[in-house]
Structures are given as structure tokens and as C-alpha cells.
């Protein structure tokens, strides 16, 4: 059973606008959440993370929001750039800092110039 879900397989956004990628999880024991970015023919690379003690974490153009009561997190990219076009995976861990990750199915973001 998929414990981390990304219900939108794809998303297209105009350059300069906001991209919002969503992720839901079912396991209430998860307490650390991450977003990975993946380009074709490359492995995933870490983008941004958030601990369950926070509800927001920001890093430049990227912000992750966590709503624990709804078991939902989202990644906001503002402004979106063509180089952001990639597959984005949401992941969760049952222990802050642990490496055993549960991944979502990914959302393919296309930023249109």
C-alpha cells in the first residue's frame, strides 16, 4: 500500500508563475519529509526538507509547507523557471534524519518558456 501519494502525475506552468506540487501521506509516524528532483538519465537529488515540528521551510525559490493534521505537504516554486522542468518526488521518513525513505510516485513538472 502506497504510504506516500502524489496524485498529480504531471503539471504544466508558465515561466515566472508559481508551481505547486502536492503530496499526501497516510502513516502518522512519519516525521520528516523531503522533496527530491530528478532529471532524465540521472538519479534523484535532494531539494528541500521539513521536520514535523515545523509547518514551513523556505530555501530561495522553493518553499515546503506541512499540514500534519491533514497529512499533506506541498512544494511551492516561485518564480518557476524552465530549468525546473523535472520529475519531483515527495519522500517521508519515520525518524528525523533516518535514511529509510518512503517515496511518492512523482510529479512531472513542465515549465513553459
Partner 1 sequence: EAQVTQNPRYLITVTGKKLTVTCSQNMNHEYMSWYRQDPGLGLRQIYYSMNVEVTDKGDVPEGYKVSRKEKRNFPLILESPSPNQTSLYFCASSLSFLGGADTQYFGPGTRLTVL
Q: How far is the CB of 37 from partner 1 (least distance, A)?
A: 11
Contacting residues toward partner 1, per CB under 8 A = 2, 4, 6, 32, 34, 41-46, 49, 89, 91, 93, 95, 97-106
Shortest Å, Cβ 76 to partner 1: 18
If the CB atoms of residues 55 and 59 are measured against partner 1, the closer one turns out to be 59
Find out whether 74 and 58 touch, Cβ atoms under 8 Å: no
Taking the C-alpha atoms of residue 5 and residue 74, their distance in angstroms, rounded to an integer, is 12
Question: Given the complex with partner 1, which of 2 and 81 has the nearer CB atom?
Answer: 2
Sheet strands (E) in 1-113:
4-5, 10-14, 19-25, 32-38, 45-51, 56-59, 62-67, 72-77, 86-93, 101-103, 107-112
Least separation in angstroms between CB 8 and partner 1: 13
Amino acid at each position: 500500500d502506497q504510504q506516500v501519494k502524489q496524485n498529480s502525475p504531471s503539471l504544466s506552468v508558465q515561466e515566472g508563475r508559481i508551481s505547486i506540487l502536492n503530496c499526501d501521506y497516510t502513516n502518522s509516524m512519519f516525521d520528516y519529509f523531503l522533496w527530491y528532483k530528478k532529471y532524465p538519465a540521472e538519479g534523484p537529488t535532494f531539494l528541500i526538507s521539513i521536520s514535523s515540528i515545523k509547518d514551513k521551510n523556505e530555501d530561495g525559490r522553493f518553499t515546503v509547507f506541512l499540514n500534519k493534521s491533514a497529512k499533506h505537504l506541498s512544494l511551492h516554486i516561485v518564480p518557476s523557471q524552465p530549468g525546473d522542468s523535472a520529475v519531483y518526488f515527495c519522500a517521508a521518513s519515520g525518524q528525523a534524519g533516518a535514511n529509510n525513505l518512503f517515496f511518492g510516485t512523482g510529479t512531472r513538472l513542465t515549465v513553459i518558456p
